[in-house]
């Protein structure tokens, strides 16, 4: 089966499902109401990310049945993604206490790791490192952080969708250039699902992704980075490089808030992208800037590491250094102005 014919079908199906979810949310008044911590000013339906979840998960068994994806990885992505999306959907509608939500996130991460065989080995300055049982602990922490940082970064129109598109297409390009193009099927299908939703979310959001969608994308992208490491250890660094904007902004923000003694589980508007959006008075330039950084800066470095043999950790440090400076310059994690 050719993967190409199903990509527009997946995007079209997601587009139609998102429209249906928007009508459902409007009818049931499932709305995101602006407050002092919001980056938008208009009540907007939420939960559109469920369309991404449904179309992507429905495609996974078909990919496995036609040998585009191994069955263990199919169960890994299907079970972990569905569980996290269900938690997010429930939280969107009925609210789950943060401690219980975090426990649920770890359960989803453990599912992914058990079915996929744990944290694969990776290269550090030319030395292959295997963490054995500790890899499960580190892998769970990594997946839960990816899940939550994606939720944190889903705060302005189109940002989470554009990031997922850039990362997935960049990953698929890496696989194609390395001659393992079959491995790009899953990232391409995920990118197609996101593209169908993006039509409703950018340049002006007519529906928000919600926790179901953002958490789902976070754990899926984390899992796909681990799958990349199982294909070729060097590729793990490539995916971390491609995810650099989100990882750096979320991590710098969290660390600075911790150092100031703030309660990090409370809602806030102190990410670099949020300060930038308020400064410019618009969301679109910030989202396009992130896309530009991904394509012009991060993708070439990922290609250098994955295709031309550059050292993974060195590439990561080079890629992240200006992003850290930019995040600090934009006051990521800084105190918010009191109105």
Q: What's the sign of the alpha-carbon dihedral 10, 169, 115, 71?
A: positive
In this prediction, the residues of the chain whose per-residue pLDDT falls under 70 are 1-2, 35-39, 125, 265, 337-339
For residue 266 the two structure tokens come to 């409370």
**Is the CB of residue 109 less than 8 Å from the CB of residue 143?**
yes
pLDDT at 339: 44
For residue 20 the two structure tokens come to 């249906």
The string of pLDDT tens digits covering residues 237-290 is 999 999 999 999 999 999 999 988 887 767 788 999 999 999 999 999 999 999
The string of pLDDT tens digits covering residues 66-75 is 999 999 999 9
Residue 149, H or E segment:
helix 134-153
The string of pLDDT tens digits covering residues 302-312 is 999 999 999 99
Query: Cα–Cα distance between 304 and 308 in angstroms, integer?
Result: 5
Residue linked to tokens 């150092």: 259
Residue 114 neighbours by CB under 8 Å, 6+ apart: 76
Domain assignments of the chain as residue spans, ordered by start: 42-329
């Amino acid at each position: 089966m050719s993967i190409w014919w199903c990509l527009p079908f997946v995007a079209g199906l997601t587009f139609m499902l998102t429209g249906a979810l928007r009508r459902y949310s409007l009818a049931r008044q499932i709305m995101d109401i602006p407050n002092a911590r919001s980056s938008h000013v208009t009540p907007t339906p939420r939960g559109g990310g469920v369309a991404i979840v449904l179309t992507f998960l429905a495609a996974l068994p078909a990919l496995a049945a036609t040998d585009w994806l191994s069955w263990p990885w199919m169960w890994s992505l299907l079970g972990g993604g569905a569980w996290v999306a269900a938690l997010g959907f429930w939280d969107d509608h009925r609210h789950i206490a943060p401690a219980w939500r975090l426990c649920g996130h770890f359960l989803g991460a453990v599912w992914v790791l058990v079915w996929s065989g744990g944290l694969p080995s990776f290269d550090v300055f030319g030395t292959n490192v295997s963490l054995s049982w500790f890899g499960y602990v580190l892998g769970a922490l990594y997946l839960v952080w990816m899940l939550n940082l994606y939720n944190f970064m889903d705060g302005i129109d189109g940002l989470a969708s554009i990031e997922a598109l850039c990362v997935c297409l960049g990953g698929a390009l890496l696989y194609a250039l390395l001659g393992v193009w079959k491995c790009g099927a899953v990232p391409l299908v995920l990118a197609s699902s996101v593209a169908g939703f993006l039509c409703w979310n950018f340049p002006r959001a007519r529906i928000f992704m919600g926790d179901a969608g953002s958490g789902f994308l976070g754990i899926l992208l984390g899992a796909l980075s681990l799958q990349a490491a199982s294909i070729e250890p060097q590729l793990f660094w490539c995916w971390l490089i491609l995810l650099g904007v989100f990882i750096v902004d979320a991590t710098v923000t969290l660390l600075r808030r911790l150092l100031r003694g703030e309660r990090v589980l409370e809602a806030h508007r102190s990410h670099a992208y949020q300060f930038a959006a308020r400064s410019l008075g618009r969301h679109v330039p910030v989202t396009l800037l992130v896309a530009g950084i991904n394509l012009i800066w991060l993708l070439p470095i990922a290609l250098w590491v994955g295709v031309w043999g550059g050292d993974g950790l060195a590439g990561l440090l080079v890629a992240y250094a200006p992003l850290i400076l930019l995040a600090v310059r934009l006051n990521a994690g800084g105190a918010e102005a009191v109105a």
